[in-house]
């Protein structure tokens, strides 16, 4: 593709030869002739002098280089779109594979691609242009919008509601039981049956082997545009706001309400029955017990404002030293503490 | 259903109109006319004045309100049972779906409901009234009791033994290999083959995409009544005691022995080759390296008695301040420490 | 089997009766007559006096005991091999089950064992002697070497490359999308399509329900001999070096490069875009934000050199005490800090 065509498609300013031929979009570390690459992060500026790429996407402010460039305030976004220009999706299976078992009263829209060994139970309704991979199981009464995409072995349990343009990655399970038991007088644990459901909005993507529990009563809700990574656990009755991003292996305990446009880091845990406000950021591995204000940035376990946490962790590494200094001071002052054991 | 019928079924004292009609069981935050709700936690008492519910479950000690009430020392348990009174389980598939592949010498008790694309291998024996969802794979020689329930895509590997009334949620895998390798002189890692198995008692529930490894030698054991949440990893040779509850994303390393009626929080990790005594509680995200005494409550990483951990975390947030105060003291005393860099 | 035969097979020195009959290999805690056991760890020496085993594997330096012994510098390795001597693998399904759906142009080598409900898509090529369990899905254009073993419900996504002697445990997913989004001016999150792939070397084992993401661009790479446990998340563009071992529930964020012969503990997390050198060890639950030098041993969150971390955690437990001592010192010196609240 010619560079001027790409510039037009990506809405970038073109500097340099418009007829430069681009065959591929590739990261700058290993880009070669015919490649279009980008620099969004100062750490990669060092590659500018040596790259073999044929063209680069840069911000307007960056200096001119010998290579032709596309200029945009958002190089990463332009790169993502350039990838799409060159992307050829794998061919799609036509129609419904004969091994799929689909209940008579299930309804499926036009343009369906349904793989082998799929099960779709009674009363399920799926919109148009779905792509359902091998081994997927869709439960009774599930309602799903248009352009649904489920990778192999996804499970959607009964009565779950899913919007348009939703992607579920392999092995994800939506609508399994929440986790609730009550000790009974008979000395057993009695299950609190989980009679609620899950409601997922439009444009949601849910990662591989991630689990989203149905509510005990009422609904677990994932709002439009939310993106959830792999191996995440969403407990019963949680709410995840619009365009909130949750990274891998994070876990939201029951009834955690996360606002819109939040960023929840990998391996984060929440205690449950709490609110995380819009635009809040929770750093990876944090453990969050209480509410988090809108726009706050917290980290650590228990979670602290991120600045406090950074200072505290710097001090943490010096705890051996702190104890030594305390002991010396006590000797100097003659206030030695007999409760202090050997250092 | 009339409130007096419910009172009788739940063994509660009725105060107020016996003919109050109840149509649904619902949480107090959003309950309306026709709903039965409950208050078990002081945090919810504020809803008493404004709730639109038609009746409430309260403890005997709580003040009388205008609404009719059911009184019991265990409102949460009564609520759980009330849910059950109104619960209509989804209709159950009758019989064995023709696409299921069942070995000739496998035995399956009466009343089986077996979904599409199931595989049951040679020599497996399953009791009566099983409900097995689509895509489940049961390995050779597996032995399972009565009323077994497996959600879609569960895997039970060869020779595992499972008791009565066990529930395995979607994607759970029981009896996969433990993780063991030994460096060999040839400069490779040699697999320690895992020749043990898994034995699961009665009334056990295991969560979605959770994994329970077979023992290297001998047995991994999950005792009667244990409840394990989603995405949990149980290593080879572990033992989980009766009615112990393990929350989501916790991981027990090999040969961790957990006693009866323990509570293991979410994202907890254990080092392995250790014992956690009966009734112990391990707070969420704790990392437990050694033994934990029966009845102890521990938290943090490395795990400490919960009180110590709480005080330490309070101090942790003040480490920046501690360093400043130490420095000022050193100046005051003239014992400045040159090894102490800028604060 | 006679003990002298075993000695020969394991390349151990035999001390004691060569005709001792061994029927089983078993851990020393519960070994009985006819059992061969071993002691590799000082903690188990106490069993020497009371064990009912018929023979033991010991190091050459350990004292002679009444029992016949096999001597080797590597008792654990010899034990692992002894297990193998007595191991009878379960019988293998012959051929391809008729319910498997295999694309016409997929190629599969001799000696294949393919279970029910398997899907193998167009253009996939699998070597000889594969064993593929029920419900496995192999995507378009996947290339796999000889002696491949996939347990039930494994998913290998399109275009992934896998070497010889690779084992994928149940529910593992290889080649699902990496996690990348860019906020767009329209106030949405735009997906960065993931056009890269995954390349796995020879002799790799990947655990149950573990996920290995395809690279955004280029390759996620798992080198020869690497061993990855259950419920691990490997982000897009990561590299895992030869014979590196990654324990359960660890997560590598995108573009983490881990060297050869590293040990990554359970529930570890990495920040991504970083390098962990050869032979490095990361203790369980650590959070690693930056590079780790070859051979280094780190622990904690944020990760510190392991000695520093141990001293710091010892100090952490004493933070309540540290604050009390600081306060007393300040009183003694008359430098009381009014910003210090009640202890």
Q: What is the mean pLDDT of chain C?
A: 94
| CB contact (8 A) between residue C227 and residue B269 | no
What distance in Å separates residue B247's CA from the closest CA in chain C?
Answer: 14
Closest chain C residue to A309 measured between Cα atoms?
C302
* Residues in chain B closer than 8 A to C267 (CB atoms): 251, 267, 269, 287
Q: Render the burial of A239-262: b for 16+ CB within 10 Å, e for the rest.
A: bbbbbbbbbbbbbbbbbbbbbbbb
Residues 291-320 of C with CB under 8 A from A: 301-302, 304, 308-309, 311-312, 314-316, 318-319
Question: For testing the chain C interface, which of A92, A136, A230, A261 should be mutated: the one with the most C CBs within 10 Å?
Answer: A230
CA distances from C76 to A273, C20, C41, C70, C163 (A): 48, 21, 9, 12, 28
Closest chain A residue to B211 measured between Cα atoms?
A209
Are B286 and B300 in contact by the 8 Å Cβ rule? The answer is yes
What distance in Å separates residue A165's CA from the closest CA in chain C?
Answer: 12
Half-sphere exposure at residue C188, Cβ-oriented, CA atoms within 13 angstroms: 9
- B122 at the A interface (CB within 8 A)? no
The length of chain A is 343
What's phi and psi for B326, nearest 5 deg?
A: -60, -45
Closest chain A residue to B315 measured between Cα atoms?
A312
The per-residue pLDDT for C343 is 38
- Helix or strand or coil: residue C225? coil
State pLDDT tens for residues A231-290. Answer: 999 999 999 999 999 999 999 999 999 999 999 999 999 999 999 999 999 999 999 999
**Nearest neighbour of C176 by CB, restricted to A87, A169, A203:** A169
Are B231 and B208 in contact by the 8 Å Cβ rule? The answer is yes
The rounded Cα A211 to chain-centroid distance in angstroms is 13
Rounded Cα–Cα distance for residues C18 and C15 (Å)? 8
Rounded Cα–Cα distance for residues A219 and C129 (Å)? 48
Are B6 and B19 in contact by the 8 Å Cβ rule? The answer is no
CA distances from B164 to B155, B224, C108 (A): 17, 9, 41
Rounded Cα–Cα distance for residues A289 and A282 (Å)? 12
Rounded Cα–Cα distance for residues B151 and C209 (Å)? 16
The per-residue pLDDT for A186 is 82
Joined together, the tokens standing for residue A230 give: 């792999």
- Helix or strand or coil: residue B28? helix
The per-residue pLDDT for C337 is 53
- The CA R_g of chain B, rounded to the nearest whole Å, is 26
CA distances from C203 to B178, B201, C152, C161 (A): 17, 36, 19, 13
Rounded Cα–Cα distance for residues C185 and C154 (Å)? 39
The per-residue pLDDT for A334 is 81
The sign of the CA dihedral C91, C95, C98, C100 is: positive
Q: Catalytic residue positions of B?
A: 236
**Nearest neighbour of C243 by CB, restricted to B189, B231, B315:** B189
Residues 130-149 of C with CB under 8 A from A: 135, 137, 140-141
To 5 degrees, how large is the angle CA B33–CA B34–CA B37? 90
Half-sphere exposure at residue C297, Cβ-oriented, CA atoms within 13 angstroms: 6
What distance in Å separates residue B195's CA from the closest CA in chain C?
Answer: 7
**Nearest neighbour of B87 by CB, restricted to A153, A195, A271:** A195
- A330 at the C interface (CB within 8 A)? yes
To 5 degrees, how large is the angle CA C57–CA C60–CA C64? 75
Rounded Cα–Cα distance for residues B321 and B314 (Å)? 12
Confidence label for A340 from pLDDT (cuts 50, 70 and 90): very low
Confidence label for A335 from pLDDT (cuts 50, 70 and 90): low
Half-sphere exposure at residue C205, Cβ-oriented, CA atoms within 13 angstroms: 20
Cα-Cα-Cα-Cα torsion C20, C23, C28, C30, nearest 10 degrees, comes to -130
Residue C340 scores a pLDDT above 70: no
Burial of B296: CB neighbours in 10 Å, binned 0-12, 13-18, 19+: middle
Rounded Cα–Cα distance for residues C243 and C202 (Å)? 11
The per-residue pLDDT for C30 is 85
Joined together, the tokens standing for residue C78 give: 């010899």
Q: What is the mean pLDDT of residues A33-43?
A: 85
Confidence label for A333 from pLDDT (cuts 50, 70 and 90): confident
Confidence label for A298 from pLDDT (cuts 50, 70 and 90): very high
Q: Quick one: CATH architecture of B3-86?
A: 3-Layer(aba) Sandwich (3.40)
Joined together, the tokens standing for residue C182 give: 């860019």
Residue B179: closest CA among C26, C228, C222: C228
| CB contact (8 A) between residue C230 and residue B211 | yes
Residue C144 scores a pLDDT above 60: yes
Question: What secondary structure letter does DSSP report for B21?
Answer: B
* Residues in chain C closer than 8 A to A335 (CB atoms): 328-329, 332
Residue C341 scores a pLDDT above 60: no
* Contact residues for B231 (Cβ-Cβ < 8 A; gap 6+): A209, A211, A231, A233, A251, B207, B208, B209, B210, B248, B249, C209, C231
What distance in Å separates residue B123's CA from the closest CA in chain A?
Answer: 24
Pairing of strands A297-299, A304-305: antiparallel
**Nearest neighbour of C77 by CB, restricted to B190, B193, B304:** B190
What distance in Å separates residue A186's CA from the closest CA in chain C?
Answer: 35
* Contact residues for C117 (Cβ-Cβ < 8 A; gap 6+): A116, A117, A135, B99, B101, B117, B119, B135, C97, C99, C100, C134, C135
What distance in Å separates residue C83's CA from the closest CA in chain B?
Answer: 7
Kindly list the partner chains of chain C, i.e. chains with 3 or more CB atom pairs below 8 Å. Answer: A, B
- B323 at the C interface (CB within 8 A)? no
State pLDDT tens for residues C211-228. Answer: 999 999 989 999 999 999
Closest chain A residue to C319 measured between Cα atoms?
A319
| CB contact (8 A) between residue C248 and residue B249 | no
Q: What is the mean pLDDT of chain B?
A: 94
Are A147 and B147 in contact by the 8 Å Cβ rule? The answer is no
| CB contact (8 A) between residue A320 and residue C301 | no
The per-residue pLDDT for A42 is 74
What's phi and psi for A48, nearest 5 deg?
A: -55, -40
Helix (H) or strand (E) holding B174: strand B173-176
Residue B288: closest CA among B318, B313, B309: B309
Looking at the DSSP bridge assignments, the partners of residue C298 are: C282, C305
* Residues in chain A closer than 8 A to C193 (CB atoms): 80, 83-84, 87
Domain spans of chain A, in order of start: 3-86
Residues 45-64 of B with CB under 8 A from A: none
What distance in Å separates residue B108's CA from the closest CA in chain A?
Answer: 22
**Nearest neighbour of B333 by CB, restricted to A122, A188, A329:** A329
Least confident window among A313-322, A327-336, B146-155: A327-336
Q: Quick one: CATH architecture of C95-307?
A: 3 Solenoid (2.160)
Residues 177-236 of B with CB under 8 A from C: 177, 179-185, 187-193, 195, 209, 211, 213, 216-218, 231, 233, 235
Residue C103 scores a pLDDT above 70: yes
- C90 at the B interface (CB within 8 A)? yes
Question: For testing the chain C interface, which of B106, B301, B321 should be mutated: the one with the most C CBs within 10 Å?
Answer: B301
Residue C40 scores a pLDDT above 90: no
- C287 at the A interface (CB within 8 A)? yes
| CB contact (8 A) between residue B285 and residue A304 | no
Rounded Cα–Cα distance for residues A76 and A61 (Å)? 15
To 5 degrees, how large is the angle CA A87–CA A92–CA A95? 160
* Residues in chain A closer than 8 A to B134 (CB atoms): 101, 119, 137
Indicate which residue of A41, A97, A169, A236 is catalytic.
Answer: A236
Kindly list the partner chains of chain B, i.e. chains with 3 or more CB atom pairs below 8 Å. Answer: A, C
| CB contact (8 A) between residue B182 and residue C330 | no
Residues of chain B with pLDDT under 70: 40, 335-343
Residue A341 scores a pLDDT above 70: no
Question: For testing the chain B interface, which of A197, A211, A228 should be mutated: the one with the most B CBs within 10 Å?
Answer: A211
Looking at the DSSP bridge assignments, the partners of residue B211 are: B173, B233
| CB contact (8 A) between residue A195 and residue B83 | yes
Are B246 and B229 in contact by the 8 Å Cβ rule? The answer is yes
Joined together, the tokens standing for residue A292 give: 């988090």
The per-residue pLDDT for A137 is 98
| CB contact (8 A) between residue A248 and residue C235 | yes
Q: Do domains B3-86 and B95-307 have the same CATH topology?
A: no
User: In this predicted complex, what is the ipTM?
Assistant: 0.93
To 5 degrees, how large is the angle CA B13–CA B15–CA B82? 55
**Nearest neighbour of A137 by CB, restricted to B30, B77, B134:** B134
**Nearest neighbour of A285 by CB, restricted to C184, C187, C301:** C301
Confidence label for C46 from pLDDT (cuts 50, 70 and 90): confident
Half-sphere exposure at residue C40, Cβ-oriented, CA atoms within 13 angstroms: 12
Q: What is the mean pLDDT of residues C149-159?
A: 98
- Helix or strand or coil: residue A174? strand
- The CA R_g of chain A, rounded to the nearest whole Å, is 26
State pLDDT tens for residues A153-191. Answer: 999 999 999 999 999 999 999 999 999 999 987 889 999
What distance in Å separates residue C325's CA from the closest CA in chain A?
Answer: 8
Are C229 and C246 in contact by the 8 Å Cβ rule? The answer is yes
Q: Render the burial of C4-32: b for 16+ CB within 10 Å, e for the rest.
A: bebbeebebebbbeeebebebbbbbeebe
What's phi and psi for B319, nearest 5 deg?
A: -65, -35
User: Is the link from the previous residue into A302 a cis peptide, with omega within 30 of 0?
Assistant: yes
| CB contact (8 A) between residue B179 and residue C248 | yes
| CB contact (8 A) between residue A30 and residue C218 | yes
Burial of A171: CB neighbours in 10 Å, binned 0-12, 13-18, 19+: buried
Q: Is C236 a catalytic residue?
A: yes
State pLDDT tens for residues B26-71. Answer: 888 889 999 999 886 777 788 888 899 999 999 999 888 889 999 9
């Amino acid at each position: 593709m010619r560079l001027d065509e790409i510039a037009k498609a990506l809405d970038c300013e073109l500097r340099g030869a418009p007829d430069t031929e681009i065959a591929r979009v590739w990261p700058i570390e290993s880009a070669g002739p015919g490649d279009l690459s980008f620099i969004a992060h100062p750490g990669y500026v060092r590659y500018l002098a040596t790259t073999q790429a044929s063209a680069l996407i840069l911000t307007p402010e960056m200096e001119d280089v010998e290579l032709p460039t596309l200029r945009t305030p958002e190089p990463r976004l332009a790169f993502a779109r350039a990838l799409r220009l060159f992307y050829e999706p794998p061919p799609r299976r036509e129609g419904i594979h004969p091994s799929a078992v689909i209940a008579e009263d299930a309804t499926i829209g036009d343009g369906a691609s349904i793989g082998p060994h799929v099960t779709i139970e009674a009363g399920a309704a799926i919109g148009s242009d779905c792509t359902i991979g091998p081994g997927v199981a869709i439960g009774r009464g599930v309602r799903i919008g248009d352009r649904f995409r489920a990778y192999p072995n996804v499970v959607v349990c009964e009565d779950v509601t899913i919007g348009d343009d939703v992607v579920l990655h392999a092995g994800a399970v939506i609508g399994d039981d929440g986790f609730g038991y009550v000790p009974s007088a008979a000395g057993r644990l009695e299950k609190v049956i989980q009679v609620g459901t899950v409601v997922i909005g439009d444009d949601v993507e849910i990662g591989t082997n991630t689990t989203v529990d149905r509510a005990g009563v009422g609904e677990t809700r994932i709002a439009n545009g939310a993106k959830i990574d792999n191996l995440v656990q969403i407990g019963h009755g949680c709410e995840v706001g619009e365009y909130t991003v949750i990274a891998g292996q994070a876990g939201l305990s029951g009834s955690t309400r996360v606002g819109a446009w939040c960023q929840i880091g990998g391996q984060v845990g929440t205690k449950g029955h709490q609110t995380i406000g819009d635009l809040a950021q929770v750093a990876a591995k944090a453990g969050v017990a209480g509410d988090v204000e809108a726009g706050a940035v917290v980290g650590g376990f228990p979670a602290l404002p991120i600045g406090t946490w950074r200072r505290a962790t710097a001090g943490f590494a010096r705890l051996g030293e702190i104890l030594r200094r305390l002991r010396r001071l006590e000797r100097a002052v003659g206030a030695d503490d007999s409760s202090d054991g050997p250092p």
